[in-house]
Amino acid sequence: MRQKIKIRQAQLDDLDAVSELLRQLHDQHPWRDSLKEKAEATLVEIINHPRRYLFVAEIDDAVVGTNDLTIVPNLTHQLSPWGMIENVIVSNQYRNLGVAIALMQSALDQAQREGCYKVELISADYRTASHQLYQKLGFQENAKAFRFYF
């Protein structure tokens, strides 16, 4: 039997679950308990940002996935904004159940409601399974990403 996936926007009490998911995504940069107050303040800022959507996926009331959509105002494309999706992760034990598709579709639907002319995401070269998912959803690989880290 297929499990029911519920997608909603994150709330402050999702911090620990989202943090655990992000550890699976970026295990080399987990925040420690010493930063918990800052993490709480950051999550409040994200939740209160008018064009930022931190989605979580739930199965049986457990947070099992997340992604983060930011809508960016724009002066080109007839002033249509664009969206950026970041930090897409589904818990290891809940993969291949449709969670990532549901999360991504929620972000794409929100971007469309906001009038975005495009949505971008950047995925690490080695995440080939993720690339296949993004292509299945209609994303096209048509640019080269450049990053500057501090």
CATH number, domain of 28, equals 3.40.630.30
Residue 146 belongs to a domain: no
The helix-helix angle for 99-113 and 128-136 (nearest 10°) equals 50
Domain count, the chain: 1
Residue 60 belongs to a domain: yes
Residues 6 or more apart whose Cβ sits within 8 Å of residue 45: none
Domain range for 16:
6-136
Ordered per-residue pLDDT tens for the chain, 150 residues:
567 999 999 999 999 999 999 988 876 655 666 788 888 999 999 999 999 999 999 999 999 999 999 999 999 999 999 999 999 999 999 999 999 999 999 999 999 999 999 999 988 888 888 889 899 999 998 888 888 888
Residue 147 belongs to a domain: no
Report pTM: 0.90
